[in-house]
A and B are shown apart, each in its own frame.
Chain A
Amino acid sequence: MAEKTMLEAVHDAMFEEMKRDERVIVMGEDVGEGGVFRATEGFVAEFGPNRCVDTPLAEAAIVGVAIGASLNGILPIAEIQFADFSHPAFDQLVSEAARLYYRSNGTWNCPITVRMPYGAGIHGGPYHSQSVEAFYAHVPGLKVVCVATPHDAKGLLKSAVRDPNPVIVLEHKKAYRLYRQELPDEDYTIPIGVAELKREGSDISLITYGMMMHHSLKAAETVHEQDGVSVEVIDLRSVSPWDKARVLESVKKTGKALVVYEDNFTGGFGAEVAATIAQDGFDYLDGPVTRLASPDVPIAPFAGELEDFILPNPEKITTAIRKLASY
């Protein structure tokens, strides 16, 4: 067992996958020098410049080239420096990677992994803070995971690399160096699409993912101590596919659901979760399915005061829990 940050876990996951399977390569901007977040530190020394490849500054090419390489015996892990810069590659992700398998009636598949640091709370301004999971989770053919702990990051990234489908791995960048966690020494994976109970509870089901999971745990602690309210925190970890069964099972037990997500309120992935609970879990409910998210403004303004104002945080979550608990 070794204590690792999430960033180290991401590094190790790729490193170990590249050791395990020589078809695996990483490609992206600045990855040769270790990447702007240092996720590929030492890769060129270990694997050479042909397996840790600096690309031109061109995201459509990064994803498009990765798709083509994946059809010819290479398993690319493409890094998009910030999720905000995946938009130039939207066409390659949505029209190509996602549709290739279906449109060829199952003859061509595209085993690429696209890593993207995402999320706000780091003074990134409107272009280094976006949550992009809802865009991609909307698209059949893409798998999307959102990781925010070292253990999950490593296990899910490995699953992504081994998955025969295109998988987008969204790594919450505020969680990169948040804390250290003991990780097993042996190889392990975490299945895509399986949620994890991060805290057990009986009064309210709080469904979340990404950085909001950490904030939600804090809020759950607070209401437990101060109000005696018992909140169950479910970390989805994957948003496509997502673990509906686990969520409904919890709501059945608690009768109340609070969905917390960092993205804009309207059309964020939590809206899908809320709609599913409302439709399939209606009989279990003792209160309104509640959503807490960022208001509908571009995420995120740069100034600390502005950014703090819009993002959900433990205090806002605490307030939302209390309101729902009093129902």
Chain B
Amino acid sequence: MTAVKEAPAALKLSDEQLLEMYYKMLLARTLSIRQRLLQRMGKGAITYSGEGHEAAQVGTAFALRPGTDWLYTYYRDIGVVLTIGMTPAEVLTGFFATRDDVNSGGRNMPSHFSHKRLRIVSQGAPVATQCPQAVGTAWASKLRGLDEVAAVYFGDGATSTGDWHEAMNFASVHKAPVIFVCEFNQYAISVHYKKQMAVENVALRAQGYGMPGITVDGNDVLAVYEAMTDAVERARGGGGPSFIEAKTYRLVPHSSDDDDRRYRTKDEVESWSARDPLVRFARRLNEMGKLDERREKEIAERVASEVDEATELGEGGARPDPESALRPVFVEEKGS
């Protein structure tokens, strides 16, 4: 069984990069909280977010090359898309379903990210359908002799679907440069992972496909980054796919439509709050002498103003033209 790995303290990240990681995590957190607040105020129909997943999301995305490598995210991945380069406003215009929403122009649900320039591929709602697609994109890179890799994100519930299995198998048979990232937060809505699978660590399944599988502490951003860096290097070097299971916890309900008190105790949630990846990383950076109170405050202020600005942009964004609902169903001439 793959052991939960401790991140070695020494990593080759510069101080700026470490602080950038922290900044992205805080940005993801703050933006998520803002979205949920706006939703409660009646300003958006639904929100999905991933408070608690920031280390897993930012740590993995940080190991990719924005605009070169490909991303197939799922609805919880605010931290991933921000790290790759989406702006808070681009996230919030999705939430507000504005005309100029880069994700879908108000057609898809919020947090179903899409950004062509950043190679974030539009996402459907059926769980795990993105997995075979990511394999296809990665495989195409290989066929074309490019060194682009694809990262695909999903939850623990997704590992139960047929699409996930078919994708894992195809990727390993064809040595596609793809990294499967499972944000293992123990629940699929209300379904605890013990009802989802009969194993403790789903990374164990990777061996059944002949690919490396690793379980990491998903609340330790540096451990996650290290595992992802390994996997990305392997993929880029022709070594094929990898599977990363990042053990984490969703500190909030599944979505704004969910009441998580129905299926988990307050104690449980609190015990995970005590392991909050943001607090933990801040403490770590502080111990390393890289984040003092002043820097922390600076970052927090920057994040707050960015989120405020994004809110304004989103709220003030033009509403979609109703008749535009009829378009665009088909591409009229050859696209890219």
Contact = CB atoms under 8 A, between A and B. Distances in A.
Nearest to B100: A105
Contacts of A140: 329
A101 B330 contact: yes
Interface stretch (B127-135, B223-231, B242-250): B127-135
B116 interface: yes
A278 to B, nearest CB: 24
B108 interface: yes
25 contacts: A58-B170, A64-B167, A65-B136, A67-B132, A68-B72, A68-B137, A69-B137, A69-B140, A71-B121, A72-B70, A72-B136, A72-B137, A74-B140, A92-B132, A96-B124, A101-B330, A103-B114, A104-B108, A104-B122, A106-B328, A107-B102, A108-B114, A108-B121, A111-B334, A164-B335
B107 interface: yes
B331 interface: yes
B329 to A, nearest CB: 5
A60 B70 CA distance: 21
A64 B150 CA distance: 14
A143 B136 contact: no
A61 interface: yes
A267 B329 CA distance: 23
Contact of B170 (A56, A92, A141): A56
Most buried by A among B116, B131, B166, B333: B166
B129 A55 contact: no
Pairs A-B, 3 closest by C-beta atoms: A68-B136, A64-B132, A105-B105
Contact of A95 (B126, B140, B166): B126
B217 interface: no
Given A91-B129, A104-B116, 4 more contacts: A63-B132, A69-B137, A103-B107, A108-B122
B86 interface: no
Interface in A77-96: 88, 91-92, 95-96
Interface of A: 25, 50, 53, 55-56, 58, 60-61, 63-74, 76, 88, 91-92, 95-96, 99-109, 111, 140-141, 143, 162-165
Interface in B292-336: 327-331, 333-336
B138 A103 contact: no
Nearest to A58: B166
Contacts of B103: 104-105
B17 to A, nearest CB: 28
Contacts of B136: 64-72, 76
B333 A64 contact: no
B104 interface: yes
A105 B330 CA distance: 11
A70 to B, nearest CB: 7
A55 B170 contact: yes
A253 B139 CA distance: 53
B169 interface: yes
B112 A103 contact: yes
A178 B143 CA distance: 37
A96 to B, nearest CB: 5
Interface string B148-177: 101000000000001100110110011000
Contact of A56 (B144, B162, B169): B169
Contacts of B73: none
B124 A72 contact: no
- Contact residue range for chain B? 35 or more
Contacts of A61: 132, 135, 163, 166-167, 169-170
B101 interface: yes
Nearest to B168: A61
Nearest to B178: A68
A88 B126 CA distance: 14
Contact of B140 (A63, A73, A106, A165): A73
Contacts of A71: 121, 133, 136-137, 140
A103 B134 contact: no
B204 to A, nearest CB: 21
A64 B131 contact: yes
B141 interface: yes
A161 B149 CA distance: 26
A163 B331 CA distance: 9
A139 to B, nearest CB: 10
Contacts of B143: 25, 50, 69, 74
A96 B328 contact: no
A82 B330 CA distance: 26
Contacts of A73: 140, 144
A74 B327 CA distance: 25
Interface string B88-99: 000000000000
Contact of B163 (A70, A91, A102, A107): A91
Given A60-B132, A141-B329, A104 B139 contact: no
A104 B331 CA distance: 12
Contacts of A55: 170
A101 B116 contact: no
A143 B330 CA distance: 9
A164 B333 contact: yes
Nearest to B150: A68
A145 to B, nearest CB: 14
A99 B328 CA distance: 10
A230 B331 CA distance: 40
Given A73-B140, A103-B122, A109-B335, A68 B132 contact: yes
A102 B133 contact: no
Given A60-B132, A67-B136, A104-B108, A164 B170 contact: no
B124 A99 contact: yes
